[in-house]
Amino acid sequence: MKNPTKITKAQDGRLLVPDCPIIPYIEGDGIGPDIWKATRMVIDAAVKCAFNDQKRIQWLELDVGEKGFQKTGEYLSDAALKSIQDHVVAIKGPLTTPVGKGIRSLNVTIRQKLDLYACVRPVRYIDPVPSPMKHPQKINMVVFRENTEDLYAGIEWRAGSAEAESVINFLEQKMGAVVPAHAGIGIKPISAANTKRLVAAAIAYAMDQNLPSVTLMHKGNIMKFTEGAFSTWGYEVARERFGDRTITEAEVYEKHNGRAPEGKIVIKDRIADMLFQQVLLRPEEFSVIATPNLNGDYISDALAAQVGGLGMAPGANIGDTCACFEATHGTAPKYAGLDKVNPGSLILSGAMMLDYMGWGKAAESIRQALQATIKAGVVTYDLARQMEGATEVKCSEFAQALVSRIG
């Protein structure tokens, strides 16, 4: 077996993955330790089987979150951030963020500090997971959520604070705005540069995966200069960088009788509230959705529910220098330490990570084993409560059931 070494990036951005890459992981808070243990077991088994023991992952634990605070007094150290950057690829469990007080979100901080600007969340139905939809097999979408700006930028001040009062005074006196007295204030920055790199990543993905459309989701009728501008800049980057491969929906109707020419990716936009309706009524019309941060957070949880819930929703945060894979859900504190929840979301995020590393054979064996296990009716509580005749198993037992089907 080769010595453990770091993954690196070539000048052209390609990943150079050794046979024994060192991959940092953050176990996470709440249910994190349970789902991470399960995920690690499944990834290791898939890699071993796919590559006949010729490849393996050397895991490197980073103490972040509550574990980090207990051990070092820091929730998220600079050393942990640097380690993710240095190792190029990492995976993490969920981390706690208190509501309305306490520390800022560690998840958001990791994404912002490492400039992991694209949050990529594929939503695909796995037969026969119970779904509230009549035809869940029609759902096959990938959300590209902008990860570094919007209301998540963390520029906000508590109601009544000197800072909030000072911003209100400025807005009223210099800008002629009317602001409710003593309001809390949050700022929503959306920039052309960050929008364009996100939408470009979404279009490149659609090209790579041969997908028919990219939908720009926004609330630009109300927030014209932020969300409206997101849509305008999205169309701009499609034209500027991918003009030969893309066509707007308007052009499809004006020049091609409503049928997109072969090989062209249709760029369209939808107002956010309407899109929530359309992904329920006509999900087959959407494949890649590119959207600002807050919309992306909402739509990815809603879409996850359509294919069976948060327990099955994987995700990745990808930047130009490194990537960090994580489940879409949070720490589900009431289930912490019970070995109960569905590890599917983190396991599928692990499969995305293997794909990203070019170890697609191992990734595919994980997806097949997951589907076979669920088909056999072996599921955790969240699916068992919706599936008649299912065998409810613990988180760790679900992982063992997958391992037994790998290969």
* Residues near ligand NAP (CB under 6 A), total: 20
Choose the stretch contacting ligand NAP; rule: CB under 6 A; options: 93-101, 153-161, 216-224, 352-360. Answer: 93-101
The least distance separating ligand NAP from the CB of residue 146, rounded to whole angstroms, comes to 16
Choose the stretch contacting ligand NAP; rule: CB under 6 A; options: 246-254, 327-335, 358-366, 369-377. Answer: 327-335
Q: Does 94 bind ligand NAP (CB under 6 A)?
A: yes
317 phi/psi in degrees, rounded to 5: -110, 115
Choose the stretch contacting ligand NAP; rule: CB under 6 A; options: 94-102, 117-125, 137-145, 370-378. Answer: 94-102
The least distance separating ligand NAP from the CB of residue 180, rounded to whole angstroms, comes to 27
Closer residue to ligand NAP (CB): 34 or 149: 34
| The residue to which tokens 């898939």 are assigned | 46
Closest CA to 18 of 69, 87, 113: 87
391 phi/psi in degrees, rounded to 5: -100, 115
Q: How far apart are CA 404 and CA 360, in angstroms?
A: 19
Q: Does 324 bind ligand NAP (CB under 6 A)?
A: no
Closer residue to ligand NAP (CB): 215 or 328: 328
Mind telling me the catalytic residues? Answer: 152, 219, 273, 297
Closer residue to ligand NAP (CB): 64 or 217: 64
CB-CB neighbours of 280 under 10 Å = 14
* Coil, helix or strand at residue 297: helix
Choose the stretch contacting ligand NAP; rule: CB under 6 A; options: 251-259, 325-333, 361-369, 386-394. Answer: 325-333
**Of positions 342, 349, 365, 373, contacts ligand NAP by CB under 6 A:** 342
Q: Read off the tokens for 168.
A: 């209100």
Choose the stretch contacting ligand NAP; rule: CB under 6 A; options: 70-78, 95-103, 159-167, 271-279. Answer: 95-103
Helix (H) or strand (E) holding 325: strand 323-326
Choose the stretch contacting ligand NAP; rule: CB under 6 A; options: 144-152, 257-265, 324-332, 351-359. Answer: 324-332
- Binding to ligand NAP (CB under 6 A) within 61-80 occurs at none
The least distance separating ligand NAP from the CB of residue 165, rounded to whole angstroms, comes to 28
Q: How far is CA 115 from CA 81, 118, 194, 200, in A?
A: 11, 9, 10, 16
**Of positions 148, 293, 295, 331, contacts ligand NAP by CB under 6 A:** 331
Q: Does 95 bind ligand NAP (CB under 6 A)?
A: yes
Q: How far is CA 359 from CA 352, 366, 372, in A?
A: 10, 11, 21
Non-local CB neighbours of 329 within 8 Å, separated by 6+ positions:
94, 304, 310, 311, 313, 345
Residue sitting closest to ligand NAP (CB): 330
Closer residue to ligand NAP (CB): 227 or 382: 382
Q: Does 47 bind ligand NAP (CB under 6 A)?
A: no
- Binding to ligand NAP (CB under 6 A) within 236-265 occurs at none
Q: Which long-range contacts (CB under 8 A, 24 or more apart) does 63-67 make?
A: 64/26, 64/92, 64/95, 64/106, 65/26, 65/27, 65/28, 65/29, 65/32, 65/95, 65/96, 65/106, 66/29, 66/96, 67/27, 67/29
Closer residue to ligand NAP (CB): 313 or 354: 313
- Binding to ligand NAP (CB under 6 A) within 275-314 occurs at 309-311
The least distance separating ligand NAP from the CB of residue 167, rounded to whole angstroms, comes to 26
Euclidean distance between the first and final Cα of the chain, in Å?
21
| Residue pair 68/95 in contact by the 8 Å Cβ criterion | no
Q: How far apart are CA 395 and CA 386, in angstroms?
A: 17
The least distance separating ligand NAP from the CB of residue 386, rounded to whole angstroms, comes to 11
Q: What's the DSSP call for residue 51?
A: T
The least distance separating ligand NAP from the CB of residue 345, rounded to whole angstroms, comes to 6
Closer residue to ligand NAP (CB): 307 or 332: 332
Q: How far apart are CA 374 and CA 124, in angstroms?
A: 15
Which residues form the interface with ligand NAP (CB under 6 A)? Answer: 31, 35, 94-97, 107, 309-311, 326, 329-333, 341-342, 345, 382
